[in-house]
Amino acid sequence: QVQLVESGGGLVQAGGSLRLSCAASGRTVSWYAMGWFRQASGKEREFVAAISWSGGRTYYADSVKGRFTISRDNAKNTVYLQMNSLKPEETAVYYCAADVDDYSGSAYAYSYDYWGQGTQVTVSS
């Protein structure tokens, strides 16, 4: 079993930045691809970013490319999402997830096996 706990969410003005963290426990996630997803109220969960087990490959939704950066520190069993130039429409609950069957990463939520409880990000206009 893997437990994932997100932190770092909060209220930020449009154009501001936040850094989300996802701390894993229970088992090391060093060998797993990790992803970030978000879900706004009344909308479906959507892919934000993913990273391979080594950190050598990263993937982003087109809407966040150039503004968000996913990274990981396997020694700390933690994955990060640096979010810059945030927009009000990016207000959502942000979730991290672990994919135990894929080393490279995926944009598909069904690929992921473990999920955190989420952290709220609110971007004010």
What tens digit of pLDDT does each residue of 5-61 get? 999 999 999 999 999 999 998 878 778 999 999 999 999 999 999 999 888 899 999
Contact of 18 with 10, CB cutoff 8 Å: yes
Residues 15, 85 contacting (CB under 8 angstroms): yes
Model pLDDT, residue 25? 87
Length of the chain equals 125
The mean pLDDT value of the chain amounts to 95
pLDDT in tens, 13-24: 999 999 999 999
